[in-house]
Amino acid sequence: MAEACKLAAGNWKMNGLRADLAEARALAAACSEPGCGVLLCPPATLIAPMAEALAGSRVMGGGQDCHASESGAHTGDIAARMLADAGARHVILGHSERRADHLESSEVVAAKARAAQAAGLVAIVCVGETEAERDAGRTLDVVLGQLAASLPDGSSAANTVIAYEPVWAIGTGRTPSLEQIAEVHDALRTAVPDAAMSLLYGGSVKPGNAAEIFAIGNVDGALVGGASLKAADFAAIVAALDAA
């Protein structure tokens, strides 16, 4: 069976001006040796300049969302081909902040993932339960339900990465126990259509907890928010994944 690729992905969310490209350059300098995949997903305004700044380095660039259509009358939206044209290799889709802020259903996420894959991008499809859903004992139901509905036909390890992000762990400094992460990742591994698909954990990953999270079976990397904004912190997380 093919091994899943290791990936450390940073999600800058709605943070970053051109001056912050210095952090991306510092990350590339700190990650000069070959190792796991390293990805930064800045706001759309920085994708092209970041791709230029990181050209030839180990650090790839990606987007945080795309539209399901190739082009057309969708003011303010960005097509997957445009992300690819700007130098993106990946795109985060179905993040819980988009599911909440923009009422994105898993069906919408699947349509976006199909568009991303057609444009040659790797879709990073996010799933995760709320605290109320976990407290109700519904974690696996919710996560596996989102997974099944968010992946279009043809999703494979080559064009899709899954990120498990418990909503209550995002930006809170709280993380699930290692056993809770393992339970969800083990369930995801049996549910994904291609066993070699990379499975990332996301939610309050920091330099101090990365190594123990990466030691969990079926965790192939992380999707990192706050700690990806500082090159030194993200480089330490990359080093932990390299060592795992």
Contacts with ligand 13P, residue ranges (CB under 6 A): 11, 95, 165, 170-171, 202-205, 223-227
Distance CA 201, CA 69 (A): 29
Q: How far apart are CA 107 and CA 150, in angstroms?
A: 6
Query: Minimal CB distance to ligand 13P: which residue?
Result: 225
For the bound state, the minimum distance from the C-beta of residue 163 to ligand 13P, rounded and expressed in Å, comes to 7
Q: Is 165 a catalytic residue?
A: yes
Tell me whether residue 152 or residue 225 sits nearer to ligand 13P (CB atom): 225
Q: How far is the CB of 141 from ligand 13P (least distance, A)?
A: 22
Catalytic-labelled residue, pool 23, 95, 104, 129: 95
130-145 residues labelled b (16+ CB within 10 A) or e (exposed): beebbeeeebeebbbe
Nearer to ligand 13P, 150 or 204 (CB): 204
State the minimum distance, in angstroms, from the CB of residue 196 to ligand 13P.
22
Distances in Å between the Cα of 68 and the Cα atoms of 20, 114, 198 are 29, 7, 23
95 in active site: yes
| CA–CA separation, 84 and 52 (whole Å) | 13
- Give dist(CA 131, CA 214) in Å, integer: 23
Q: Which is nearer to ligand 13P, 83 or 118 (CB)?
A: 83
- Output the smallest distance, CB 51 to ligand 13P, in A: 20
Cβ closest to ligand 13P, residue 118 vs residue 178: 178
Buried b (16+ CB within 10 A) or exposed e, 165-192: bbbbbbeeeebbeeeebbbbbebbbeeb
Active site residues: 95, 165
